[in-house]
Structures are given as C-alpha cells and as structure tokens.
Amino acid sequence: MKFLCHAGPWSDAYFSYLVKEMYPSAKCDILSGHKKVDKSGLCDIYYEEVVKNKNNTYEITEEDLDIIARCRLLRALKINEALLHVNCMRKAICETLSILRPDIVLTETIDSYIMDLLNIESKKRNIPCIGLVTAFVNGCYRVSIRGEYVKSRNVTAEEVDVVLNDLLSKEYLPSFVVNSKQTIRYNAIKNWTRNLIKIPYFFLKRIFSEEKYNYHYWQAHITSAQLASFIPVIDPGEYKYLEKLKGTQSTVIYVPLQMFPEATIDYWCSSRDIIDYECILVDFIKKHKNINFLIKEHPNVVGYRSRRFYKRLKSCENVIFCPTYVQSNSLLNYYDAVLVWTGSVGFESAIRDKPVLCASRPYYFPKSFNCLIFSMSTSTVEIQKFIEDYYNDHASINQKELVRYLLEGCLEGRVRFDGSWCEENDEHVVEVKKLSTSLKAYIEKI
C-alpha cells in the first residue's frame, strides 16, 4: 500500500506515525508546500514551473475560477498571477502523482489551493483522497475532503443517547473552544499581538527562507495585514444586551460569528457567491431592517477580527451584540431562529427545536430536515413566514435521528493538526492508535 500525505511542519511526523500504525509495511511519502518537509519532489517541480512560465498569459476556466475564489491567498492576487500559480502547481501535482503512483492520498480537510488541486487531480486518476477534520462531538473526527457529509459507520442506540445528553447539556462545549471570561480576555490580547507580529515576520520569512512562494508564509502575511488593528478589541459585546433583547418586539435571529477566513466557509459552502462572509453578513443584516440580529463573537477569534468589521455591524440599528463569554445555549429563550453559514450552533439549535437559516446546507442536516437556505434575494417576509410555519406546522424534532445522522458521519478518535503531537506523549500515542483503528476500518470499507 502506498500513501501520499499532504502535510506541513506541524503534521508530517503525525501523518507518518498514523500510516505506520495502520499499515506497518506501507510506504508513506510526504507532499508539502514547505521545501524542508516535502519528500515528494513537488516543490522543486513547482518552483521550476513558476520561473519557466512567469511571463505567460493564461485563459481562465470555470475550475480555475472556483479554485482562486476559495483560496485566501489566490483571491488576494491579481488574476494572472493567481492563474500562474494554479497552473504551475497543477503541473507539479500531476507529475508527482505520475511518479509516485499512490494508492491513497491522506490530508487535512482542504484549506488551500494546493490541497484543492491535489484532490481534483487525484479524483481524475481514481485515487481516493481522504480528508480528516475535527468534529464538534468530543472524541470524534470526520472523514471529509471539502466539508461534505460522508457516512462512515453505523451507531448504536446507546451511543446516540450518550451524545444527545452531552449536547443538550448547558455546559457542553467542543474541546477546541475556550469560553471563560478570563481566557477570552487573555486570548484577545494574545491573538492581536500575534497577528501584528505575523506581518513583518512572514514578510521577512519569504525573503530569507528562499521560499518566496511558500503558501503558508505568503497567505499568513497577507491575511494578517487584512485583519490588523492598531488597538485590540477585547470583547465587542454589550453588557446591557439582555435589556435590549427584552425590549424588542420584532423577530430575533441569533448569529454566532464564524472564523474567517476559514476552510469551513471557503470550501464547505456549495456556492462561492457567499464565501465573502463579512461583507455578505453585513449586507444581509442591513437588508432586513425589521429583524433584530443577536450577534456573538466566536471565543477563539477575539483579537483577530478586524475592528472595521465590528464597526460596520454596530452601525446597523437592528444589531445587538452579546458578550463573547456568554454560552450560546444560555441564549435559547431570547431568539426565534439561528443563522449560520456552516457552524455547529445550527445543529445545537436544531436539536433544541429552533428553526435554522443556512447560507449552504450544513453537512450535519439530512436532506429531510427543514432548514431555510437563504441568499441575498431572500425577503424578510420569506424569513418570517419560514419561522412562523416552523413553529405552527412541524411535529417536534426527532432529536435522536438528528444525532444518529451526525454520528454516522463521525469516526472515533481525535486528530491533532495543531502542532502539539508528540510521539513521547503517552496520551497522544493512545489517541492516534484509536484514530488509526477507526480510519483503517474505513479505508478497508472503501
């Protein structure tokens, strides 16, 4: 068995260990946009192609348009420069796949144009491309290359009951979310400081590392500059938000802000027309002046988000900002519906019998579940009618069936793509052994 793993310096050892744990005799090649990590030859081919073709003019295809629009680096470049890197990377990936001839490609869920192209070209060659991503059910992960739902196993009634009880708990939080008042204040300063440091750091990194086109260095420099603020926003929330909520007579829609730019928006939304998250959200709120929007920042994002975005939101008279440390589940009685792009709060609200508006159908809802897929053309009347009909006409939500569907798209284990993996850590080894067991069973099933 031959594996080709897309990895960075934070995950190459992790992937190598995982493959060895599943198949001790398997060959594992590491493909990376980092020259020091790449063992596949991809970087050498890519840099040669860029030098050779830098003066070319390219015609754009529909596939190229989608790749560029969804990649946070490429969409920040001029179109012909973006096309240069798409075409050179495509050529490098095609040559690498032809040389190495892997049986399976293993990667994190897609979060860059390199991974996007790797998936596209693997599919053309009938090579399974498996993406791994953390699930919001603690102790589980998902197999998903571009956010799509993949039924991965059957689950027992007992497992459904345990997870449903956990999710319905007011104290429940996914393991990757921090949400204490003190931690949020600390994170806001830390995130803001780190973001400012990233601008000169990655600018210099590109110059002195001899990796001018390293995706991670390049996009980090651009994205950090886009998000930079001279003064940190510790918490955009209003302490008197409850007074405002109790005083309103109109429909209230809860909007838990999502991380952006982020794979869950860039690649998980079916239409690229809605991936300009911040602009679309502000325009949508301004359009629906007769609806109040209760906004809460994501606990992991405070300090990163641009002050300009908060200013635009707060200029809308129909916006009420909730403090970041307030848990979403405690707000249940104060809103009529929830609006998400792909966020897990949509599921958490659905199992509590709240109507959900989605920019794109999330992976966690079966086709039979009644949610409103909104767009900029959706009217206030349509939204209010959907909410009214939801409460008047539908039978009570079958919580267990929703949880069963969610769990059938999850596998047991925890993925570590945050650079924390350590082979000497016994807990980490136990985690990866559990992960390898479930992933191997899935691989052999497909």
d(CA 398, CA 250): 28
d(CA 326, CA 237): 9
Between 20-29, 181-190, 351-360, the lowest mean confidence (pLDDT) is in: 181-190
The model carries a pTM of: 0.93
Nearest C-alpha neighbor of 142 from the set 441, 430, 415: 415
Q: What angle do CA 331, 294, 264 make, to 5 degrees?
A: 90
Nearest C-alpha neighbor of 14 from the set 152, 119, 141: 141
Quote the pLDDT of residue 177. Answer: 62
Residue 436 pLDDT exceeds 90: yes
Amino acid at 89: M
- Distance of CA 296 to CAs 91, 119, 309, 326, 416, Å? 43, 34, 13, 8, 27
Do 109 and 131 meet the contact criterion of CB atoms below 8 Å apart? Answer: yes
Quote the pLDDT of residue 395. Answer: 61
Domain map of the chain by residue range? 2-153+410-444, 235-404
Quote the pLDDT of residue 255. Answer: 97
Q: What is the pLDDT of residues 42-72, one digit of tens each?
A: 999 999 999 999 999 999 999 999 999 999 9
Quote the pLDDT of residue 393. Answer: 78
User: What values do phi and psi take at 142, rounded to 5?
Assistant: -120, 150
Q: What is the pLDDT of residues 294-305, one digit of tens each?
A: 999 998 899 999
d(CA 208, CA 182): 38
Residue 169 pLDDT exceeds 90: no
Reduced to 3 states (helix: H, G, I; strand: E, B; else coil), residue 80 is helix
Reduced to 3 states (helix: H, G, I; strand: E, B; else coil), residue 170 is coil
Q: What is the pLDDT of residues 363-389, one digit of tens each?
A: 999 998 999 999 999 999 999 999 999
Quote the pLDDT of residue 242. Answer: 92
Residue 170 pLDDT exceeds 80: no
Beta strands 140-143 and 411-412: pairing type? Answer: antiparallel
Residue 180 pLDDT exceeds 60: no
Amino acid at 205: K
Residue 219 pLDDT exceeds 60: yes
Q: Would you state the structure tokens that stand for residue 73, as one six-digit string?
A: 């680096």
d(CA 98, CA 89): 14
Q: What is the pLDDT of residues 238-249, one digit of tens each?
A: 989 999 998 888
* Residue 101 zone, left/alpha/beta (φ > 0; ψ -120 to 50; rest): left
DSSP-H helix ranges across 230-294: 241-247, 263-266, 277-287
Quote the pLDDT of residue 396. Answer: 66
Quote the pLDDT of residue 246. Answer: 87
Radius of gyration (C-alpha) of the chain in whole angstroms? 23
Quote the pLDDT of residue 394. Answer: 64
Bridge partners, 221 (sequence order): none
Q: What is the pLDDT of residues 399-417, one digit of tens each?
A: 999 999 999 999 999 999 9
Q: Choose which CATH entry (3.30.1490, 3.40.50, 3.30.70, 2.30.30) describes domain 235-404.
A: 3.40.50
pLDDT above 90 covers a percentage of the chain that reads 85
Between 49-58, 188-197, 322-331, the lowest mean confidence (pLDDT) is in: 322-331
Quote the pLDDT of residue 272. Answer: 92
Average confidence score pLDDT of the chain: 94
